[in-house]
Structure 1
Amino acid sequence: MSRPVLPALADYVADLEQIWASGILTNMGAFHQRLQAAVQHRVGIGQVTLWNNGTTALVAALAALDLRGEVVVTPFTFPATVQAIAALGLTPVFADVDPDSGTLCPSAVADRITTATSAILGTHVYGTFCDTDGLGRLAREHGLRVVYDGAHSFARRTPVFPAGPTSLGDVTMLSFHATKLFHAVEGGALITDDPELHERLTHYRNFGIRSEDVVSGTGLNGKMSEFHAAMGLRVLDLLDDEIDRRAELARRYAHGLRDVPGVSVIAGHGASVQYLVVRVDALSAGIDRDGLHRGLRELNIVSRRYFHPLCSDIPPFSGHPSAGYLPVARRFSAECLALPLHGGMDTEVVDRICAAITWQAASGRRWVA
């Protein structure tokens, strides 16, 4: 599916030698501070804190907002998004997604808001941003907080986020896991425009410690180590070249699949090159997504049904009343397929994948006929 961007080993070893010489392995050392500043510059807005992974960061963001009761969330996301809500004893309430983008639909969210609702949690899907203006209006009308899972968002040139009062919600999470275009092996970040929340998150990341003598409230150990920060800095230097290479491959995918009925590229061929995702309309293609997934695997082409299953189908969340009727999200989950995409791929590999999809679809149509 992907391959992590890696710097020259000798360069990373040189960084390790610096870390060894300093004797500082974690606790916001020099590499951590440099990476935090570099991410801040690339993001373009808000204030950034680095974390040891995106899930920890998301749990911390929800906890720092002092939420209670219910959080309206998308079912079309990675399980960690909903698990972070449940980990804090909050109740996830599912709302359907937009039929074009697959992101949380403001009108569907409006139907789920009750007196118990305290927040909205949306996911920027495949690098496509939620309707932050629409969700922001809802939040203001009902006095709610807004949090974004932006794990797919960093695969863009600077500034990553457009300027505007609703771009970040109250806080946005980023993931720097090794499966992402930009990674620190493991890592994450939180971005907020709220200086008070930023300060709270800064201390929350380190057990709530404010000074040698003062510990304030709750917190956890969410610090990024120097080893991970050093990797992040090296990968950041390679990021724009990787984006250029992936964009070239994405254009080739789009060209190679342009004449395949029922198969459309919906992500990767645009501003974000985090993932290359196609959507399969079984009626037009002659094969459904799962059939294409199996057929490609038989040809040693690894694809991923992403996101599948829906979070609303995962126990114990599947028992919630809001999990029952989510037709748009269910269709996305049944039709989307992520294809291999990373800068180390040869263009000939893309051509072979496109040819395999074309052949599978044509065979299916002949069988249907």
Structure 2
Amino acid sequence: MAVHRRHMRRRRRQMLDEVKISRRVIRDRLNPLEEYSDDEIFDRYRFRPATIQYILDSIAPSIVHNTAKNCALPPTLQLLTCLRFLATGAYHRLVGDSIGVSETTTGRCCRSVTDSIITNLLKNSITFPTGNCAREIKQQFLAVAGFPNVLGCVDGTFIRIIAPSENEPDYVNRKGFHSLNVQAVCDAKYKITSICAKWPGSVHDSRIWRESALCQQFENGVHSGFLLGDSGYPCKRYLMTPFLNPSTAPQQRFNTSLCKTRVMVEQTFGILKRRFSCLQGVLRTDPNQATKYVIACAILHNIGIDRGDVVDSTQDLDQVQLRGGNGNIIVAGDGVNIRNHIVDTYFT
């Protein structure tokens, strides 16, 4: 009897296994690069096929993972899954449905590809200009608005996130929602040359700048030139800010020129968020992963500009107003004297 029962149990297990195998569904995975036109691919993934292939060649070795499962997701579809998420900010389930993968796989692809983009492309994609590159950027800024010796424009922007489980009040910004406060510097071609995305939304722009590595480089004399910022930043010998109450025509002309030049960083944020809609909505993840998504988007933004795969800026410069700071900033030091010298030399 015992032998018979063991035989029956073994037979039932075999029958269940046969049923599971017969019910297994193998879904066809769509390869968008073969299904859509270049413009359709750009609309869905924010890059054209040539640029997608360039990114894939740069990161593919680091996103291939060993797995014992059959039909592992190839690097191309992993990259497209991540780009689809960054382009739309949709739920992982919806992104996965568009390519034929599960919600869990979509999340894993987004994290893996983002890490690979940062590891392999950050160093060469986001660099502050030096040498001949710095001289070219100064000439470009001078041609745009007549402002001399400018290396870049600096500002911050809020990126919404869900309420984190730790230090939740720190992430509530002055507008009342949870966010990161992302500081970036751009050049005259809307490329991001420096980015700091780790700070909670409640932290003031001036503190983020003061504790950044780029600020220390300017303080130590590594860079020769100016950054342009709004009145939320302190006026320094390397950081020009507008007159809060211009009293003369040259000071007003200085403010107008600074505004027309500094608006490029606001346009850069606009271009970045239009290309990657995940930055316009709410990043439904923890702050550490949200920071990685922001940096990855900045890297991809620069790659798009370098390869001519761009989203045009349509913001009207005449509609941009000078923005005041959101805290008490003491404007002091030799920055004030340098600002007055620029007014007397170039705007009188």
The TM-score normalised by the length of structure 1 is 0.24
Q: TM (normalized to structure 2)?
A: 0.25
Greater RCO, 1 or 2 (C-alpha within 8 Å, sep 6+): 1
